[in-house]
Amino acid sequence: MFEKLDEIKVLRDPVHGYIHIEYKVIWDCINSREFQRLRRIRQQGSSFVVYHTAEHSRFGHSLGVYEIVRRMCNEIKDIDDYLSEEDKVVVMLSGLLHDIGHGPFSHTFEAISDIKHEIYSCRILEEDTEVHRALENSRRGLSSTVASVINHTHLNPILAQMVSAQLDADRMDYLLRDAYFTGTKYGEFDLERVLRTLRIKDNTIMVKESGVHSIEDYIMARYHMYWQVYYHPVARSFECVLSALFERMRDLTSVNPKVLKDITIFDDFIMHGVKPSLQSHFLLDENSCFYGFQKLMKHEDKILSDLARRLLNRDLFQYQDIVDRKTIEEVTKRTTDAGYHPKYYVKVDNVRQRPYQPLGDDRSIWILMSNGEVQELSEGSPIVASIIKGKNKADNKVFFPR
């Protein structure tokens, strides 16, 4: 038996109404400094330059994922029956803590630094941290169990499927949350209906046949969020500038390790061969990054200071579709002629996405037909079947200063 709080705590949340907390270990993790740090990292690091209200943090998202997992445990009969109380607490904690290793502007940051947030999530759970102590105080070994769900090595596959797969609490929350905070409707889908149609069969979470329509809606919501929000060219422009700034810091530092002077927060992240400590990781949040940009804005290196200024004042790169190889050549020439260093001022970014890809196992969505048979989503839905046969949508752009 896990210790319960005297009274259920509730946190107001616009996406879910309330977040309900019943177990003490959940509450203790929320109050740990590592979890509180998620307030200082935006859920979508670059979307706020497109949708000015997309300022919501990973803190709220993590609570939201926890809440969806909690509801799955309590409201979906098959899951309620299938999981022990320990499994339930473990999977709720996994939902809550799955993003705890994220750094600022994760997408960009991971691309340039080879730091994977999943690894830091597990380190934060298993090394000497407040959240680690909260977990171990509740039950010895709990931190490793939670980590095993997050890195998909837990023996019970249902747990990881609930947290991160194709139809999981992580995606469900971020689609709804990003839709709410951007003010777009694209990410909306019928969460109640999706939850009501989940079943377990063959150790796999499936959707009842009658729920196929709400899944199609969810698939399309995801697709539209990618193109309208996550892959919006202005957000990608912010990421290009950010990426250029980090390259420049790295290039300067490799020549002269002292070049950044009193700006120490980036040190562990730009030096080759250094693996940032948990303490460095803890200190690098979006607040300290923006403070760093302020400092860099006054740096004597013109490229550094210009790129930092661009991030702070949202004076981003413009962009152009890449028609063929010549586009890039022409842009590079033009930009160089204008006096810009093309390494930092010409950035190519290609994205492509399709609404759904049936990859089998956890990477597919399975439909439980009324006759008891199991079909992969693209068999059960004519819409999805059409879509996976169609072309991927792609968007290839080059970014450069105005």
Interacting residues toward a second copy by CB under 8 A: 10-15, 17-18, 31, 33, 36-37, 39-40, 48, 51-53, 55-57, 59-60, 63, 180-186, 188-190, 192, 196, 213, 216-217, 220, 223-224, 227-228, 262, 283, 285-291, 294, 312-315, 355, 382-383, 385-393
**Nearer to a second copy (CB atom), residue 48 or residue 345:** 48
The answer to whether 225 and 186 have CB atoms below 8 angstroms apart is: yes
**Nearer to a second copy (CB atom), residue 251 or residue 395:** 395
Please state, in angstroms and rounded to a whole number, the distance separating the CA atoms of residues 265 and 279. Answer: 11
**Nearer to a second copy (CB atom), residue 137 or residue 291:** 291
Least Cβ distance, residue 77 to a second copy (angstroms): 9
**Nearer to a second copy (CB atom), residue 181 or residue 345:** 181
Environment class of residue 4 by beta-carbon count within 10 Å: exposed (0-12), middle (13-18) or buried (19+)?
middle
Residue 227: phi and psi, rounded to 5, are -80, -30
**Nearer to a second copy (CB atom), residue 186 or residue 400:** 186
What amino acid is encoded at 343 in this protein?
K
Least Cβ distance, residue 387 to a second copy (angstroms): 5
Query: What is the phi-psi region of residue 31: left when phi exceeds 0, alpha when psi lies from -120 to 50, beta otherwise?
Result: alpha
Please state, in angstroms and rounded to a whole number, the distance separating the CA atoms of residues 5 and 132. Answer: 19
Size of the chain in residues: 402
Please state, in angstroms and rounded to a whole number, the distance separating the CA atoms of residues 327 and 398. Answer: 8
Q: Which among 323, 319, 327, 378 is positioned nearest to 349, based on CA atoms? A: 319
Least Cβ distance, residue 51 to a second copy (angstroms): 6
The answer to whether 22 and 3 have CB atoms below 8 angstroms apart is: no
Least Cβ distance, residue 273 to a second copy (angstroms): 26
Place of tokens 């290839």: 396
Per-residue DSSP letter, 229: I
Q: Which among 256, 65, 217, 73 is positioned nearest to 156, based on CA atoms? A: 73
Least Cβ distance, residue 229 to a second copy (angstroms): 10
Tokens standing for residue 189: 């889908």
**Nearer to a second copy (CB atom), residue 361 or residue 382:** 382
Least Cβ distance, residue 343 to a second copy (angstroms): 26
Please state, in angstroms and rounded to a whole number, the distance separating the CA atoms of residues 38 and 201. Answer: 35
What amino acid is encoded at 31 in this protein?
N
**Nearer to a second copy (CB atom), residue 348 or residue 383:** 383
Least Cβ distance, residue 306 to a second copy (angstroms): 13
Please state, in angstroms and rounded to a whole number, the distance separating the CA atoms of residues 240 and 346. Answer: 9
The answer to whether 350 and 396 have CB atoms below 8 angstroms apart is: yes
Least Cβ distance, residue 302 to a second copy (angstroms): 18
**Nearer to a second copy (CB atom), residue 34 or residue 168:** 34
